[in-house]
C-alpha cells in the first residue's frame, strides 16, 4: 500500500478499491475504507507512518457496498473516528445485514452473507444530505469537502470533491477490464446512471479518482466506455427477448445473456447481476419497449406490441 499525493491536502491509496485521504485543519479524513479489517489495519499503518501526527476525524463513505465500508469497523474501533454517509447508505452501513436482505428480499441464506456482501457494521455519526437543488453538491459537515450526488450504481451514492480539485468518483465509473469481465456491473437505476455519466463528462477537475479504475486527469473516454457498457446490456437483454420469441423471466434473461458472454457466477454474484437485469427491465419498461405480466405464477417480460 502507498499514499500518493494528488493535491496540497489530498492523497489516495491505490488498490482493489481506491481509497481517498484528505487533511484539513490538522485532521484527517478517509474516503471509503476497503473490504475488511485487514484493509483497515493496513490503511492505519500507512497513515501512521506517512502522516504521523494527524488524528483521523472521520470516514466519508461514498456508498454502503461491502468493499467500501468493510474497513470502517476496525478503523473506528482503533481511532474513535466518526463515519459520515448519506442517510440510506448510512443505514445500510449500520445494519449491514440489510445488504444480503436487499439481494434476496428475505432473510438471507449463508452463501450470500460473505464479507464481499455483508461487511462488519459501523456506527454512523452524521448524515450527509445532498441538496437536489444544487447538483454540484453540498458541503460535507464543517469541512471544505463537497458531496456530489452520483445516483445510479447504488441507493444514494455520492462522489467527494476536495478544495484542491480532486474528484473522488466512487463507483460511477469502472475500468474497461471490469466492464468486460462482469458485463452487468451493479446498477440499480439505469436512467440515473446515464445522467451521472453526463454529469461526469461535463465535470472538470485536476484529478478524478474512481474507486475501481486508475486515477486520471481526464475521464471522458472512460465515461464513454461505461455508457457503452450500459447500452450493451440494455440491447443484449432486448435481443434475448427477440431471439427467444417468447416472454422470459428476468432469471432467463440473465441466463441467456450471461451464458452467451461466457460468464460464470456464484449465488451472490448471480443475485447482484439480477439487480442489474431488474434495473434494465425497469428502464426498458419506462421507455415503453417491454412490459411485465404474470402467467403460471411467473413474472414474465415481453416486448411491447408482441
Ligand atoms: Zn465498489
* Model confidence band, residue 129 (pLDDT cutoffs 50, 70, 90): confident
CB 59 within 8 A of CB 29: yes
Report the alpha-carbon angle 85-88-91, nearest 5. Answer: 80
Rounded CA separation 283/190 (Å): 6
Helix 220-244 crosses helix 190-202 at what angle (to 10 degrees)? 160
Counting beta carbons within 10 angstroms of the beta carbon of residue 257, is it exposed (0 to 12), middle (13 to 18) or buried (19 or more)? buried
The predicted-structure confidence for 38-57, as pLDDT tens digits, reads as follows 999 999 999 999 998 899 99
pLDDT for 185 equals 84
CA dihedral 241, 242, 246, 251 (to 10 degrees): -20
* Cα–ligand 1 centroid distance for 303 (angstroms): 33
Counting beta carbons within 10 angstroms of the beta carbon of residue 49, is it exposed (0 to 12), middle (13 to 18) or buried (19 or more)? exposed
* Cα–ligand 1 centroid distance for 245 (angstroms): 36
* Cα–ligand 1 centroid distance for 289 (angstroms): 30
User: Is pLDDT at 184 greater than 80 in this prediction?
Assistant: yes
Rounded CA separation 86/36 (Å): 21
Task: Report which of 254, 303, 243, 302 is spatially closest to residue 279, judged by C-alpha positions.
Answer: 254
User: Which residues are found with C-beta within 5 Å of the ion, ligand 1?
Assistant: 65, 67, 171
Range list of H helices, the chain: 37-50, 66-69, 72-79, 87-94, 98-104, 176-182, 190-202, 220-244, 250-260, 267-286
Q: Are strands 290-295 and 27-31 parallel, antiparallel or unpaired?
A: unpaired
Rounded CA separation 33/234 (Å): 32
Task: Report which of 250, 240, 249 is spatially closest to residue 279, judged by C-alpha positions.
Answer: 250
* Cα–ligand 1 centroid distance for 152 (angstroms): 13
Instruction: Please tell me the total number of residues recorded for the chain in this structure.
Output: 306
DSSP codes joined into one string, 157-179: -EEEE-TTSEEEEEEEEE-HHHH
* Model confidence band, residue 139 (pLDDT cutoffs 50, 70, 90): confident
Residue environment code for 219-252, b if the CB has 16+ CB neighbours within 10 A, otherwise e: beebbebbbebbeebbebbbebbeeeeebbebeb
* Cα–ligand 1 centroid distance for 62 (angstroms): 9
CB 116 within 8 A of CB 109: no
* Cα–ligand 1 centroid distance for 298 (angstroms): 32
The predicted-structure confidence for 9-26, as pLDDT tens digits, reads as follows 999 999 999 999 999 999
CB 64 within 8 A of CB 72: no
User: Is pLDDT at 306 greater than 80 in this prediction?
Assistant: no
Rounded CA separation 147/168 (Å): 10
* Cα–ligand 1 centroid distance for 171 (angstroms): 6
User: Is pLDDT at 132 greater than 70 in this prediction?
Assistant: no
* Cα–ligand 1 centroid distance for 115 (angstroms): 13
Task: Report which of 116, 135, 121 is spatially closest to residue 93, judged by C-alpha positions.
Answer: 121
Q: Which domains does the chain have, with CATH numbers?
A: 4-227 (3.60.15.10), 232-303 (1.10.10.10)
* Model confidence band, residue 135 (pLDDT cutoffs 50, 70, 90): low
pTM across the whole model: 0.96
Amino acid at each position: 500500500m502507498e499514499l500518493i499525493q494528488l493535491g496540497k491536502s489530498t492523497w489516495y491509496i491505490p488498490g482493489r478499491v481506491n481509497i481517498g485521504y484528505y487533511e484539513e485543519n490538522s485532521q484527517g479524513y478517509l474516503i471509503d475504507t476497503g473490504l475488511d479489517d485487514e484493509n483497515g489495519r493496513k490503511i492505519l499503518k500507512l497513515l501512521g507512518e506517512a502522516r504521523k501526527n494527524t488524528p483521523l476525524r472521520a470516514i466519508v463513505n461514498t456508498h454502503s457496498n461491502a468493499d467500501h465500508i468493510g474497513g470502517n469497523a476496525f478503523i473506528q474501533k482503533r481511532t474513535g473516528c466518526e463515519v459520515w454517509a448519506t442517510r440510506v447508505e448510512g443505514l445500510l452501513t449500520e445494519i449491514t445485514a440489510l445488504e444480503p436482505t436487499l439481494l434476496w428480499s428475505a432473510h438471507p441464506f449463508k452463501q450470500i452473507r460473505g464479507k464481499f456482501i455483508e461487511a462488519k457494521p459501523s456506527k454512523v455519526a452524521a448524515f450527509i444530505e445532498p441538496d437536489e437543488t444544487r447538483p454540484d453538491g453540498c458541503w460535507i459537515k464543517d469541512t471544505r469537502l463537497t458531496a456530489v450526488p452520483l445516483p445510479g450504481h447504488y441507493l444514494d451514492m455520492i462522489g467527494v470533491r476536495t478544495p484542491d480539485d480532486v474528484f473522488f468518483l466512487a463507483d460511477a465509473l469502472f475500468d474497461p477490464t471490469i466492464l468486460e469481465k462482469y458485463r452487468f456491473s451493479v446498477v440499480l437505476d439505469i436512467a440515473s446512471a446515464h445522467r451521472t455519466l453526463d454529469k461526469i463528462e461535463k465535470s472538470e477537475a485536476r484529478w478524478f479518482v474512481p474507486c475501481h479504475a486508475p486515477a486520471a486527469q481526464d475521464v471522458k473516454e472512460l465515461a464513454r466506455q461505461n455508457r457503452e457498457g450500459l447500452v450493451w446490456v440494455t440491447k443484449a437483454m432486448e435481443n434475448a427477448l427477440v431471439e427467444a420469441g417468447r416472454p422470459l423471466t428476468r432469471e432467463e434473461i440473465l441466463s441467456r445473456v450471461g451464458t452467451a458472454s461466457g460468464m460464470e457466477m456464484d449465488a451472490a454474484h448471480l443475485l447482484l447481476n439480477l439487480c442489474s437485469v431488474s434495473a434494465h427491465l425497469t428502464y426498458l419498461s419506462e421507455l415503453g419497449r417491454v412490459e411485465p405480466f404474470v402467467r403460471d405464477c411467473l413474472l414474465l417480460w415481453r416486448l411491447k406490441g408482441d
